Amino acid sequence: MFGMGHIVHGTCERAAVSIDPREVVGWFDRVRRDLPWRRPEVSAWQILVSEFMLQQTPVARVEPIWRDWIARWPTPSATAAAGAADVLRAWGKLGYPRRAKRLHECATVIAAEHGDVVPEDVEVLLTLPGVGSYTARAIACFAYQQPVPVVDTNVRRVVARAVHGLADAGNPSAKRDEADVAALLPDDDTAPRFSAGLMELGALVCTARNPKCGVCPLSHCAWRTAGFPPSTAPVKKVQKYAGTDRQVRGRLMDVLRASDAPVTRAQLDVAWLTDTAQRDRALDSLLVDGLVEQTEDGRFALAGEGANAGAGAPSRGARGRMQPLRSRADNSEGADAGAGAPSRGARGRMQPLRSRADNSEG
């Protein structure tokens, strides 16, 4: 069952070593981190919240904000009843606040259309705002104990090394990657723990840099057997943060989160004095994403707090000109959305036509 076999990976067929689920599950049971969203009393909604927050954000930053969030809004209906601005403030410095907006939209749909209960079917989960392939399967697996493949960056790395003998997983392919992991799933009730264990193994031991092979629980690893051949992929440039549109967006959001009333353009301008064109671009993208609104008198506020903005009123761009409006809809999840992917606005919210220059923000 766990011996040698042939698995098609990429364009080449390679002899593959399988992973013994018993080794992964046994190791996970011994060393698993005591994360609050893994505890048995946690609801499917609370697991969903953790999955939204953990997209592109380290566990250490997520945990305190997740605890505060769940204490304040333990159910979808509680989150849906909150104002969008309150949700954006509670998201704080987790970064990529479009996730917070989508989480609020997701809560609204679950409360209104699913009886305040998170769906357990993957296909139904995929219809929710902000829920993509990974998040849908993670909820089905970790909240409802379903034997479905859950594939993140850590899992892809473990499988690439242990099964295919490759230093890294290369470009992602949802169909191929999910098939790889599905072939490894045990056919008993340990499948969810196996999935969690693969993720933990990639996060703690089989890391991208300096893997701790000496403490790896796997008795068979194709990469180790091959002598740890180095990666042949081009070295990825480390994404900088300082000076990016993402940083500027974060500075502007900081000003708005700190105020309980709309702010003037002058108050926003002082948040970034280095490059006024970049600041304009960042503010325009926040307007397009529906994270920021502009009032009739030209001030700016978090979504839902543009007190003077009448229904259907046109929006001004960052340079003060009036712009036509349109509604936007997108159901991809934050972590999986490609550069330039559209952002789902609040249902029926009219937004400026300006194209987005940045797909993320601090």
Mean pLDDT of the residues in the chain:
84
Same domain, 194 and 283: no
Per-residue pLDDT tens over the stretch 242-281? 889 999 999 999 999 999 899 999 999 999 999 999 999 9
The 3-state secondary structure of the chain, one letter per residue: CCCEEEEEECCEEEEEECCCHHHHHHHHHHHCCCCHHHCCCCCHHHHHHHHHHHCCCCHHHHHHHHHHHHHHCCCHHHHHHCCHHHHHHHHCCCCCCHHHHHHHHHHHHHHHHCCCCCCCCHHHHCCCCCCCHHHHHHHHHHCCCCCCCCCCHHHHHHHHHHCCCCCCCCCCCHHHHHHHHHHHCCCCCCHHHHHHHHHHHHHHCCCCCCCCHHHCCCCCCHHHHCCCCCCCCCCCCCCCCCCCHHHHHHHHHHHHHCCCCCECHHHHHCCCCCCHHHHHHHHHHHHHCCCEEECCCCCEEECCCCCCCCCCCCEECCCCCEECEECCCCCCCHHHCCCCCCCCCCCCCCEECCCCCCCCCC
pLDDT at residue 307 in the model: 59
- Which of 225, 256, 274 is a domain's end point? 225
Same domain, 276 and 323: yes
Answering whether pTM is above 0.85, one says no
Q: Say which range, 67-71, 167-171, 183-187, 340-344, has the weakest mean pLDDT.
A: 340-344
Q: At residue 322, does pLDDT exceed 90?
A: no
- The total of structural domains in the chain comes to 2
Same domain, 97 and 138: yes
Same domain, 191 and 265: no
Domain that holds residue 141: 4-9+20-225
Catalytic residues: 51
Which pLDDT band, with edges at 50, 70 and 90, does 232 fall under? confident
Which pLDDT band, with edges at 50, 70 and 90, does 340 fall under? very low
Quick one: average pLDDT of 6-21? 57
Per-residue pLDDT tens over the stretch 114-141? 999 999 999 999 999 999 999 999 999 9
Q: Is residue 49 part of a domain?
A: yes
Q: Is residue 337 part of a domain?
A: yes
pLDDT at residue 229 in the model: 95
Q: At residue 10, does pLDDT exceed 60?
A: no
